[in-house]
Amino acid sequence: MTRVLAMVSGGLDSILAAKLIKDQGIEVIGVCFKSHFFDEQNAIKMTEQIGIPLKVVDFSEEHFSMVKHPKHGYGKNMNPCIDCHSLMLNYTGKLLEDLNADFIITGEVLNQRPMSQTRSSLDIVKKESGFSDKILRPLCAKNLPPTEMEVKGLVDREKLLDISGRSRKIQMELADKWGIKDYPSPAGGCKLTEPNYSKRLRELLNHNDNPSNRELELLKYGRHFRVSSSAKIISTRTKEEGDQVKKYLDKGDLIFFAEDFNGSMIIVVGEPNEEDIKFAAKVTARYSKAKDEKLVKVKYGKFMSPLDNHIEVEPASEEGINEYII
């Protein structure tokens, strides 16, 4: 029986491609990837809907190394899609022998994305992957030359599709037909496609070319302020966000709260000086119910320790916020 590895991102297109091939009586094994910038949760939900097993590959370190210096550049934000797809295909190709599979399928659609899914980009991805003769794109296969798998009869080309362009009408109709529900928005699972996250990541890399996993995780939460080369301020926006951030804090991080008013939790990571601490207190006052007061009492201390330091400050001005916010 023919067996294929389906690269599953967690989005709709890749699961439709897997379903299309499965319905030809071909055994399908899903393969998804996790890194600092996306995880396997959506892929798990999607593969369960069509009843295929899923193998999760953690390639965080190699992926991050590529993100810092992509051969083919970035998309609109910090998403190096061509290099990312090539790297994933290379990993998947190396699994073919281990999993006794015949070829690889992806959910790519011709001309859906202006950077990574043009005809030339798809060709580059195939070449860079190192497994160009083992890659089939079922959703747009009829817009491309027949692959070795189609010529040999491992898959029926007549049952493949010719989707092209940015409209998702056909995909949504197929999802409805096949009972696939609750799929995420396109590229919704990758932090590198998000403008704010990308700005913070660029800024972090300007100060540290080899940030820790903790630093990368903290980029996902709150408002960020760069106050000096050795210190950064994070202001949480909700209680839920504050609870999430606490998982990544160290005992050396400073925590700030307005003493007599509800408001944001402010965190200072790094090695702040006195001016950094004073500004963090001002930010604390600014993002509290006391933002219109002339002077606000702020308490602070190290995470998981008593907040027994006190300072009285004016809330930060809009100009002060804008000067340091990332």
pLDDT in tens, 90-120: 999 999 999 999 999 999 998 887 777 888 8
Tell me the per-residue pLDDT of 254-276, one tens digit each, with 9 for 90 and over. Answer: 999 999 999 999 999 999 999 99
Overall size of the chain counted in residues: 326
Question: Cα–Cα distance between 142 and 134 in angstroms, integer?
Answer: 16
Start-end of H helices in 10-160: 12-22, 41-50, 60-68, 81-98, 119-129, 148-151
Q: With 80 as the cut, is the pLDDT of residue 187 above it?
A: no
Q: Which segments of the chain are extended strands (E)?
A: 3-7, 27-34, 54-58, 103-105, 135-136, 223-228, 231-235, 254-258, 266-270, 296-302, 309-313
Q: Going by DSSP bridges, is the β-strand pair 27-34/54-58 parallel, antiparallel, or unpaired?
A: parallel
Tell me the per-residue pLDDT of 17-36, one tens digit each, with 9 for 90 and over. Answer: 999 999 999 999 999 999 99
Q: Where residue 188 falls among pLDDT bands split at 50, 70, 90?
A: low
pLDDT at 160: 97
pLDDT at 246: 95
pLDDT at 117: 82
Q: With 90 as the cut, is the pLDDT of residue 137 above it?
A: yes
Higher per-residue confidence, 183 vs 175: 175
Q: With 90 as the cut, is the pLDDT of residue 50 above it?
A: yes
Question: Cα–Cα distance between 263 and 285 in angstroms, integer?
Answer: 8
Tell me the per-residue pLDDT of 55-85, one tens digit each, with 9 for 90 and over. Answer: 999 999 999 999 999 999 998 899 999 999 9
Which token pair is 147?
A: 């692959």
Q: With 80 as the cut, is the pLDDT of residue 185 above it?
A: no
- As a whole-number percent, the residues of the chain with pLDDT over 90 amount to 90
Task: Domains for the chain: give ranges and CATH numbers.
Answer: 3-190 (3.40.50.620), 194-324 (no CATH)
Question: Cα–Cα distance between 32 and 189 in angstroms, integer?
Answer: 12
Mean per-residue pLDDT of the chain: 95
pLDDT at 181: 87
Q: Going by DSSP bridges, is the β-strand pair 223-228/254-258 parallel, antiparallel, or unpaired?
A: unpaired
